[in-house]
Amino acid sequence: MKPAPFQYHDPKTLSEAVSLLGSLDNAKLLAGGQSLMPMLNMRFVMPDHIIDLNRVEGLAYVNERGGAIEIGAMTRQRDLEFSELIKAKCPLMHEALQHVGHRQTRNRGTIGGSLCHLDPSAELVSVAAAHDAAVTVVGPNGTREIAFKDFPAGYLTPAIELNEIVTMIRIPVWPAGHRYAFAEFARRHGDFAIVSAAVLLQVDNGRIARASVTLGGVAAAPVRATAVEQAIVGQAASTDLFRTVCESCRSIEALADIHASAAYRQSLAVTMSRRALDRACGFPTPGALH
Amino acid sequence: MSDKRSITVTVNGTKYTKDAAVRMTLADFLRGELGLTGTHLGCEHGVCGACTILLDGRSARSCLMLAVQTDGHEILTVEGIAPGPDKLHPLQEAFRDNHGLQCGFCTPGMLTTLLELLRDNPDPTEHEVRVAISGNLCRCTGYQGIVLAALDAAKRMKATA
């Protein structure tokens, strides 16, 4: 038997799940299981209780409401990948999903699970940061919404209470015709990115009116390259501009681990942000495979 | 709450009702409790793809699910792909004819994964085949025979459709 012993609960309603989570000690929520199950199998985590959300009604949907896309936390990555609404209104997410694991894992993995696991290089986490998403959580004291910039509390740790469950992600939509690109560097297709860049641009009359540049995998949580964003707004988009301003990404504080040194991550941050900006504007990106 | 649960699952068209320890993975349940050892276990943490099965028609890694989660659901394993004991599925025939396997360890996962691909995309490009099996590790073939087999299978399946 791979996982250490636990008691298993599979509530059918959200209120049941909230009350279980509030009353049980050392309980873990199980969403798509594509991160938690490996950690259980390897006994990196040994909860006393597993609360499985897969049978909870009403947590899987994609809707448009009030200029935003609302996504239920248990919506599978594969359903997002093939959602026409996501493709039309949030094309950055559609593109980013092509890099998320493999078909077999996207069939199970959920957006809520991705955000709560909060891997530093997870693509959906970067998309949420890029779009200034908001996360809805439900706990014993009711519902609250957390701006995504406040959502990461640290490495693999969301800023939610132990008795709260993420139920929805709200993604404000950018105007029709906005530019976007997701570029990532990974050793193999489907691996976690060493560094990724997510870009959203609004270009009016040839000038950049609004910009969002997010780097994943560089630090413990996605970083908005605010220096780049500020430097390009008001400017005419050009390869030279991007080449110059993206140098500022070299000073972003970066992680070092078995995959890459901090200096290499900083170098990739420069390259990937420039590449994503170039690609968003339809400029050539020589040497880029993905 | 007990540490075991009675679950009913339909595997390859046969309904089974069995007790499963709640911490038992679906892969261990298929192999140990149902004796369906065609589903292989390589890494047991979702990297190698050997344990891929179809859950309600969608590919999933059976090492990353608990058996109890599949109560009331339908599963297809490699044992259920062939139409009968004396006949192979066109995908399996294509694997045989194109050297799509050598040691055979990754084959169950390759077949289930490609079955889903060819159902959703009956005419895939080579690139699409390579992306589809990017989550399945093979250490023998260099993938070339597998890709050829998948493309060949697409042709055979169209011819028989």
Can you tell me the ipTM of this complex? 0.94
CA torsion through residues B29, B30, B31, B33, sign: positive
B76 and B19 share one domain: yes
Percent of chain A with pLDDT over 70: 99
Residue A52 touches chain B, beta carbons under 8 Å:
yes
What average pLDDT score do residues B12-28 get?
97
- How far apart, in whole angstroms, are the C-alpha atoms of residue A38 and residue B47? 9
* Chain A closest-CA separation from residue B43 CA (Å): 10
Domain-located, residue A157: yes
B75 and B102 share one domain: no
58-117 in B: which are within 8 Å (CB) of A?
58-61, 63-66, 68-69, 113, 116-117
Model confidence pLDDT, tens digit, residues A181-191: 999 999 887 77
pLDDT confidence bin for B1, thresholds 50/70/90: very low
List the single best residue of B45, B52, B56, B63 to mutate versus A (max A Cβ within 10 A).
B45
> For chain B, how many structural domains are there in total?
2
Residue B49, classed as helix, strand or coil, is coil
Which residue among B5, B44, B116 places its CB closest to the CB of A41? B44
A32 and A93 share one domain: no
Does residue A290 have a pLDDT over 90?
no
Task: Give me the CATH number covering residue B56.
Answer: 3.10.20.30
Q: Which of A138, A172, A206 is the last residue of a domain?
A: A172
Domain-located, residue A57: no
Domain-located, residue B38: yes
Does residue B25 have a pLDDT over 50?
yes
Q: Note down the domain range covering B124.
A: 90-160
Q: Around A86, how many Cα atoms within 13 Å sit in the side-chain half-sphere? A: 25
> For chain A, how many structural domains are there in total?
3
* Chain A closest-CA separation from residue B160 CA (Å): 26
Domain-located, residue A58: no
- How far apart, in whole angstroms, are the C-alpha atoms of residue A222 and residue A233? 21
Domain-located, residue B85: no
Domain-located, residue A74: yes
Q: How far is CA A85 from CA A64, A93, A116, A280, in A?
A: 8, 11, 23, 20
* Chain B closest-CA separation from residue A246 CA (Å): 31
Model confidence pLDDT, tens digit, residues B93-110: 999 999 999 999 999 999
Residue A8 touches chain B, beta carbons under 8 Å:
yes
B116 and B149 share one domain: yes
- How far apart, in whole angstroms, are the C-alpha atoms of residue A30 and residue A33? 6
B98 and B141 share one domain: yes
| Closest residue of chain A to B29, computed from CA coordinates | A1
Residue B152 touches chain A, beta carbons under 8 Å:
no
What is the predicted pLDDT for the residue at A285?
Answer: 86
**β-pair partners for A63:** A70
Task: Give me the CATH number covering residue A76.
Answer: 3.30.465.10
Give B57's contacts in chain A (Cβ within 8 Å). Answer: none
Task: Give me the CATH number covering residue A18.
Answer: 3.30.43.10
Please provide the size of chain B in residues: 161
Sort A87 into a burial class: Cβ within 10 Å, 0-12 / 13-18 / 19+.
middle
B14 and B75 share one domain: yes
For chains A and B, what is the number of CB pairs under 8 angstroms?
93
B152 and B122 share one domain: yes
Question: Between residues A105 and B161, which one has the greater pLDDT?
Answer: A105
B56 and B25 share one domain: yes
B2-6's contacts with Cβ under 8 Å and 24+ in sequence apart are: B3/A5, B3/A7, B5/A8, B5/B68, B5/B71
What is the predicted pLDDT for the residue at A188?
Answer: 81
Model confidence pLDDT, tens digit, residues A149-190: 999 999 999 999 999 999 999 999 999 999 999 999 998 877
Q: Note down the domain range covering A141.
A: 64-172
Domain-located, residue A254: yes
Domain-located, residue B98: yes
Strand A223-224 relative to strand A207-216, pairing: antiparallel
B96 and B141 share one domain: yes
| Closest residue of chain B to A47, computed from CA coordinates | B23
- How far apart, in whole angstroms, are the C-alpha atoms of residue A173 and residue A183? 20
B76 and B116 share one domain: no
- Whether residues A8 and B113 touch (CB distance < 8 A) is answered with no
What average pLDDT score do residues A79-93 get?
98
Please state whether B57 falls in left (phi above 0), alpha (psi between -120 and 50) or beta: left
Q: Are A137 and A164 in contact (CB under 8 A)?
A: yes
DSSP-assigned letter for residue B29: I
Model confidence pLDDT, tens digit, residues A31-72: 999 999 999 999 999 999 999 999 999 999 999 999 999 999
List the single best residue of A16, A78, A79, A102 to mutate versus B (max B Cβ within 10 A).
A102
Written as six digits, the tokens of B142 are 């260099």
Q: Which of B20, B52, B80 is the last residue of a domain?
A: B80
Q: How far is CA B153 from CA A90, B49, B148, in A?
A: 35, 20, 8
What average pLDDT score do residues A225-247 get?
97
B57 and B111 share one domain: no
B14 and B73 share one domain: yes
